[in-house]
Amino acid sequence: MTIHEKLDAGKAYYEIRLESIGGLGANLCGKMLGELGIKYLGLNSSSFSSYGSEKTGTPVKGFIRYCKENKEIRVHYPVTEPDLLVIFHQALLKDASVWKGCNEKTSVIIALEPGQELIPFLEDLKKKTAIPGRGQFYGLEAQRIAMETHSRINVVMLGAALKVMGIESLDAGEAICKDTLGKKYPDALQNNLDGMRRGYDEVAEISKTTRISEGNEKSEPVIDMSKTVKHSDDSKQDNGQVWGYDNAPIGGINPRFGSTVIADLSPSRQGYIPIFVKERCINCGLCFSACPDMVFQFAKGEYKGREMMVNQGLDYYHCKGCLRCVDVCPVNALVRGVEAEHPEKPYFLPNQELLIMPAYYEEAGPDGYITSESYLTEKRMEGGEV
């Protein structure tokens, strides 16, 4: 059903959740979707985003609500049961929290890697995480489209979202794109419009396609994933939220206070990682002080004949690629490297305090978009260094 059909059928709100990481433009995409409803779809709408203090490279969520023009939006909490879930980065798929609140009525758009085999991809995914059963899954190669059009992933995903929402014409999408990007990036406007059009045209339902990039419309059976959803115990709410008003620990204690030791931060990386050149290291500890995520592993050792704490290696499991350590290192013992060029990471040492390694953990592949000409062109246009 289209967005207008759902609202006409009596649904109070049509809700969208964007799952992304900083740097892919999900926040702006959410704002554009919000303004689109008010300006061009004849609806009331609201939109806001949620992200941490270090936006670039960290998880980002966008929330958009639509309702009929004669109805007020009087709720302001995050979208917990989306009608449309848009996943910008494939590394987020293994995080079960991304799928919270989804059901068989949720439409899901996934940004796929170039040439990806779609049916085997979903079959493998359902073995690793709890994903909704028998919903509508759509895919497109957003990264490839963004590179080829010299646009951004967010406008490609915007075009795909409009198609899945049932917007029959791209006129409204082009108008909001011109309103938002035309003044700030006039030289890049046509590229972004091209990227949005291709996102609209090339998004396809995964259950009916075996390879998006080749346009192969070979019929495939719908994958029934209803049996893969992991049901929690009674202490968890229906939307997947572990702690809430009724079951929070006494005193409102957060059992995961101030620590990312059990979190997998590798999906946050955007193409770059710090490379450790051990022979240059003077064990000053500045990297340890600057790192927000306990990446550096110091232990007692010997340096220049003296017993002291010595840098043993990096825990890339927790590294999100912010490169603060590279900035503060006084002797270039840490340098920026392209992750694609280092499949075997030197001095990879998991955190010794990590007692339980999550079963789903895999080393996330690098996001080539960040090192692409499309991304670098945008940086040059803003006057920044490349």
The C-alpha atoms of residue 87 and residue 101 are separated, in whole angstroms, by 14
The C-alpha atoms of residue 158 and residue 108 are separated, in whole angstroms, by 13
Q: Is the C-alpha dihedral spanning 384, 379, 32, 266 positive or negative?
A: negative
Residue where the block lists tokens 């592993």: 297
Instruction: Yes or no: say if 40 and 66 are a contact pair by the CB < 8 Å rule.
Output: no
Neighbours of 361 (CB within 10 A): 12
* Predicted local confidence at residue 256, as pLDDT: 52
pLDDT digits (tens, 9 = 90+) for 87-123: 998 777 777 778 888 888 889 999 987 776 666 666 6
* Predicted local confidence at residue 173, as pLDDT: 92
What per-residue string of b and e applies to 342-355 under the rule 16 or more CB within 10 Å gives b?
A: eeebebebebeeee
What per-residue string of b and e applies to 79-100 under the rule 16 or more CB within 10 Å gives b?
A: bbbbbbbbbbbbbbbbbeebbb
pLDDT digits (tens, 9 = 90+) for 182-203: 888 888 899 999 999 999 999 9
Instruction: Yes or no: say if 286 and 328 are a contact pair by the CB < 8 Å rule.
Output: yes
Residue where the block lists tokens 């293994």: 94
Residue 306's φ and ψ, nearest 5 degrees, are -120, 140
* Predicted local confidence at residue 366, as pLDDT: 47
DSSP H helices in 165-280: 171-181, 189-202
**DSSP conformation class of 70:** T
User: pTM for the full model?
Assistant: 0.66
Percent of the chain with pLDDT over 90: 37
Residue where the block lists tokens 């979190």: 263
- In the predicted model, what is the mean pLDDT of residues 126-135? 59
Give the confidence band of 157 by pLDDT, cuts at 50, 70, 90.
Answer: very high
Q: Which residue has the higher pLDDT, 248 or 315?
A: 315
* Predicted local confidence at residue 355, as pLDDT: 46
